[in-house]
Structure 1
Amino acid sequence: MKHVAIFIFLSFSLLTAAQNPFGEKPKPKPAQQEEIHSDIEKMPQFPGGPEAMQKYLEDNLAQPAVIRGICSSRKLIIAFVVEKDGSLSQVDIVKSIEGCPDFDFDVLRVVKNMPKWDPGFLNGYQVRCYYKMPIYIG
């Protein structure tokens, strides 16, 4: 009888230890990034369209005479992701203008500070979209 009581006591203590509420909790799985699309029904757009974007770039890019002289008639290509809410992420220069690193930094600054875009759509839903854009120095 004494052995049975010890067995029951040990079994009960093991069961309660296994259900310790202060033990480690399982870690949640990391959220998966949604796919970035490049072929969609409606491409994202700067608010107000291409003309408004051109004005935004002209108003915000610092193009001193030195940059215009050295780098004129050339183009830089920048790429970024337009998120579902219209914000921009992963902003990067795809094709730089050789000899004009200051212009590269200025373009990155201006694009990162752009207002939210109208997002792209696929099958009637807003989606993340990869976007490439040339910027010309006049």
Structure 2
Amino acid sequence: MYAWLGSNLRFPERPYEYVGKMVIGFTVSQTGHVRDIDLVRLQAASKRYVISVFKRMPRWKPGFHKGKPVIVRYYLPINI
């Protein structure tokens, strides 16, 4: 996942404006699709870009509980 993000998440022109930590929350559905993307800590100008990158993320393996797929919420910290 970090390798995919590293090759797909590119910040334009002035990288020094984006230095710091961002925390991204998202849900992985029972089918493995990423949805309900929420940026907990990030500059407002960058939010649309990061959400668009996360929407292109490949399917995940869904979480399982007692042998059945379940919805799982993740919070992912990323340092820039």
TM-score (norm 2): 0.85
Aligned residues: 80
The superposition leaves residues 88-111 of structure 1 with CA deviations (integer Å, 9 ceiling, x where unpaired) of: 111111122xxx433322211111
Quick one: which amino acid aligns to residue 128 of structure 1? I
Distance 2:31 2:59 in 1: 8
Q: 1:116 maps to which residue?
A: 59
Select the structure that is richer in helix: 1
Select the structure that is richer in strand: 2
Distance 1:88 1:64 in 2: 24
- Residue 129 of structure 1: CA displacement? 0.9
Q: 2:76 maps to which residue?
A: 133
The sequence identity of aligned pairs, in percent, is 34
Alpha-carbon contact 1:84-1:127 (below 8 Å) kept: yes
- Any idea what SS the aligned residue of 1:86 has? coil
Quick one: which amino acid aligns to residue 80 of structure 1? F
TM-score (norm 1): 0.53
Alpha-carbon contact 2:11-2:18 (below 8 Å) kept: no
Structure 1 unmatched runs, 5+: 1-52
Distance 1:103 1:87 in 2: 22
Please say which structure displays the higher CA radius of gyration.
Answer: 1
